[in-house]
Homo-oligomer: A and B are copies of this chain.
């Protein structure tokens, strides 16, 4: 593993650089499929499902029978775990509700802001060997709490035209109103333009491969809102000798098993600790089922020695990790100083996987340094604010002249006139 000893600030850009993704090549494909779905609707969607998922589906909807089968087919143990996670996610996201307050900025001028649910949202859940049902919880639960009316879930079918029981069950449990067996670019295009079977939505959430990433980006050109831009998942751990190398190694590996492009970084203040973690990584790695994937991303990972606390905090903020674990003697220093991160895990008993599933926080988080400008998904992601203002006669008398002067200075006489015409009546 690459060990870097107290890099200079000049070296930081290369030390914390993410591997660049080449997405230009697939933009043409994505754009073509969008046009096809826009022009030909379900006919085009079905064609791409046949090509990419290897199955011909006339009805994309998950049937009542499939829903019943999914529920019956899953173990009580599993269902009980999902319910416990759901409770925690609910509790945390319900706590994010806010009441509006009316502010009288000037006597007679009342202003307030109210949050309203986005009425139609789309959730994209990837398919593949491991069914990511936890992402269904992370997106559908806050959507339901926010009061979204239509919660449309799209997930690609397997070769038998099925989607995983776990996903069907979670979708049902968390109030998805429509569950469709459609994936990839065609799913995103379908939710963007609407087809006979796929409802048009106002905002699309959820992870996906590079095709889905580019499709979500392209959908914004057609007026779609998206949760955030996506990139490979990443974890940075800041630790010192007080941390347990065995735990730190297990956390780095839990990130590394996501994919060969996962980003794993350790920042520590002792080379001895770094060596211990490295040894532990290789011990644990050998026993993992996904060791081939994990090994590749571990080989690209970085172990950074940084002896100064302020510098290490700056380095972390410059990187802006999706996940940040803090395991040091002075956790408060880092907790108080962190500005750019998605989700932060504090102390020896807060592994990243706890937040991935069950603490209650959301696991849909900004990667690729996007934490510098984006929040992870939270209750507000499913709402938008409307501002209101109600001005009394006295209120308009109080602020009228200010408006008149400013409108005139911007050369907008009709703006001024809308006030003057009222003030003239009031001054009679």
Contacts and interface: CB of A to CB of B under 8 A. Distances in A.
Interface string A246-261: 1100110110111000
B388 A253 contact: no
B221 A350 contact: no
A395 B349 contact: yes
A354 B419 contact: yes
Nearest to A224: B373
A156 interface: no
Interface stretch (A51-59, A62-70, A401-409): A401-409
Contacts of A392: 349
A90 to B, nearest CB: 9
Interface residues of A, number: 126
A65 to B, nearest CB: 22
A43 interface: no
A389 interface: yes
A276 interface: no
Contacts of A412: 130, 254, 257-258, 290, 353
B95 A414 contact: no
Given A254-B414, A378-B385, A360 B109 contact: yes
13 contacts: A78-B405, A88-B399, A120-B372, A223-B368, A225-B370, A250-B417, A257-B412, A284-B421, A338-B386, A349-B391, A352-B415, A353-B419, A375-B386
The 6 closest A-B pairs by CB, nearest first: A225-B373, A105-B360, A130-B411, A81-B405, A353-B415, A375-B385
